[in-house]
Chains A and B, each alone.
Chain A
Amino acid sequence: MGKLTDRASLVQAREALKKEIDSNKCRILICAGTGCVAGGSGEIYDKMCQLVEGHPGIEVKFEDHVDHGDGDIAVRKSGCHGFCEMGPLLKIEPQDILYTKVKLEDCEEIFHKTIVGGELIPRLLVQQDGMEVPKQEEINFYKKQNRNVLKNCGHIDAEHIEEYLAIGGYKALEKVLFDMEPQAVIDEVSAAGLRGRGGAGFPTGKKWAQVAGQKEPKRYVVCNGDEGDPGAFMDRSIMEGDPHKMIEGMAIAAYAVGSDEGYIYVRAEYPLAIERLRNAIAQAEEWGLLGDNILGTDFSFRLHINRGAGAFVCGEGSALTASIEGNRGMPRVKPPRTVEQGLFDKPTVLNNVETYANVPMILDNGADWFKSIGVEKNHGTKAFALTGSVKNTGLIEVPMGTTLREVIYDIGGGIKDGGQFKAVQIGGPSGGCLTAEHLDLPLDFDSLKKIGAMIGSGGMVVMDDKTCMVEVARFFMNFTQNESCGKCVPCREGTKRMLEILERIVAGKGTLEDLDVLEELSEMITDTALCGLGKCAAQPVMSTLQFFREEYEQHVVEKKCVSRNCEALRKFVIDPDKCKGCSKCARNCPAGAISGQIRKAYSIDFDTCIKCGACVADCAFDAIHIEW
Chain B
Amino acid sequence: MLEKEYYDKTDEIIAAHGRTQADLIPIIQEIQEAYRYLPPELLTYVAKELSIPESQAYSVATFYENFSFEPKGKFLIKVCDGTACHVRKSIPILETLYKELGLSKDKQTTDDMLFTLETVSCLGACGLAPVLTVNDKVYPAMTPEKAIEMINELRGA
Q: Which candidate, B4-12, B102-110, B116-124, B144-152, is the interface stretch facing chain A? A: B116-124
B127, CB-defined interface residue at 8 Å: yes
Q: Is A428 a contact of B83 with CB atoms below 8 Å? A: yes
Q: Is B63 a contact of A461 with CB atoms below 8 Å? A: no
Q: Which candidate, A32-40, A170-178, A617-625, is the interface stretch facing chain B? A: A32-40
A329-B64, A387-B83 given; A270·B126 CB < 8 A: no
CA distance A37 to B127 in the complex (A): 13
CA distance A101 to B125 in the complex (A): 16
Q: B22 contacts which of A84, A268, A324, A482 (Cβ < 8 Å)?
A: A324
CA distance A3 to B54 in the complex (A): 44
B115, CB-defined interface residue at 8 Å: no
Looking across the interface, which residue of chain A has its beta carbon closest to that of B27?
A: A326
A34-B124, A34-B138 given; A329·B29 CB < 8 A: no
CA distance A377 to B58 in the complex (A): 47
B109 → A minimal CB distance (Å): 18
Q: A393 contacts which of B82, B83, B129 (Cβ < 8 Å)?
A: B129
B71, CB-defined interface residue at 8 Å: no
B84, CB-defined interface residue at 8 Å: yes
Q: Is B138 a contact of A38 with CB atoms below 8 Å? A: yes
CA distance A162 to B19 in the complex (A): 36
A34-B124, A229-B122 given; A326·B60 CB < 8 A: yes
Q: Is B86 a contact of A269 with CB atoms below 8 Å? A: no
Residue picked from B81, B87, B125, B140, most chain A C-beta under 10 Å: B87
B65, CB-defined interface residue at 8 Å: yes
Q: Is A387 a contact of B84 with CB atoms below 8 Å? A: yes
Residues 392-432 (chain A) with a chain B CB within 8 angstroms: 393-395, 425, 428-429
Q: Is B125 a contact of A34 with CB atoms below 8 Å? A: yes
| Chain B proximity mask over A254-293: 1 for CB below 8 Å, otherwise 0 | 0000000000000011110000000000000000000000
Q: B126 contacts which of A309, A387, A467 (Cβ < 8 Å)?
A: A387
SS of B interface (majority): mixed
Chain A residues whose CB sits within 8 angstroms of the CB of B65 once the complex forms: 309-311
CA distance A330 to B136 in the complex (A): 27
Q: Is A461 a contact of B84 with CB atoms below 8 Å? A: yes
B21, CB-defined interface residue at 8 Å: yes
CA distance A475 to B87 in the complex (A): 10
Chain A residues whose CB sits within 8 angstroms of the CB of B83 once the complex forms: 230-231, 387-388, 425, 428-429, 459, 461, 475-476
A62, CB-defined interface residue at 8 Å: no
Q: A326 contacts which of B20, B121, B128 (Cβ < 8 Å)?
A: B20
CA distance A252 to B139 in the complex (A): 38
Q: Is A306 a contact of B139 with CB atoms below 8 Å? A: no
A230-B83, A428-B83, A467-B87 given; A326·B125 CB < 8 A: no
A38-B138, A38-B139, A310-B64 given; A236·B124 CB < 8 A: yes
B53, CB-defined interface residue at 8 Å: no
B131, CB-defined interface residue at 8 Å: yes
CA distance A483 to B22 in the complex (A): 22
Chain B residues whose CB sits within 8 angstroms of the CB of A308 once the complex forms: 64, 66
A35-B127, A328-B60 given; A309·B29 CB < 8 A: yes
Counting from the closest, the 6 A-B pairs by CB-CB distance are A84-B127, A230-B82, A310-B65, A309-B64, A38-B138, A233-B124
Q: B residues engaging A (CB < 8 A)?
A: 20-26, 29, 59-60, 63-67, 81-84, 86-88, 120-129, 131, 136-140
| Further pairs besides A35-B127, A271-B136: 9, Cβ < 8 Å | A84-B126, A84-B128, A230-B83, A232-B124, A309-B67, A311-B64, A328-B60, A461-B84, A485-B63
